[in-house]
Amino acid sequence: MAKTIRNKYYKYLTYENLMKAHYKSCKCKSNKAEIILFNLKKEEYIHWLYEELKNKTYKHRRI
């Protein structure tokens, strides 16, 4: 019988983990315009993302 994993979403949803994910995602892309613009307000954007994920109101959209 398979194991059921519950309540792990909120355990790993932290501001620090989102910052780590951002650093890993832009490791070799630091010269791209989108990354430079994002990094200008990085803390604000990641805090917004954290709140959206925590409230389960985040909608993925292509920019």
Q: Where along the chain do its domains lie?
A: 14-55
| 1-60 confidence digits (pLDDT tens) | 667 777 788 888 999 999 999 999 888 888 888 889 999 999 999 999 999 999 989 988
For residues 31 and 63, the answer to whether their CB atoms sit within 8 Å is: no
pTM value is 0.75
Sequence-distant (6+) residues with CB within 8 A of 13 are 50, 53, 54
For residues 41 and 10, the answer to whether their CB atoms sit within 8 Å is: no
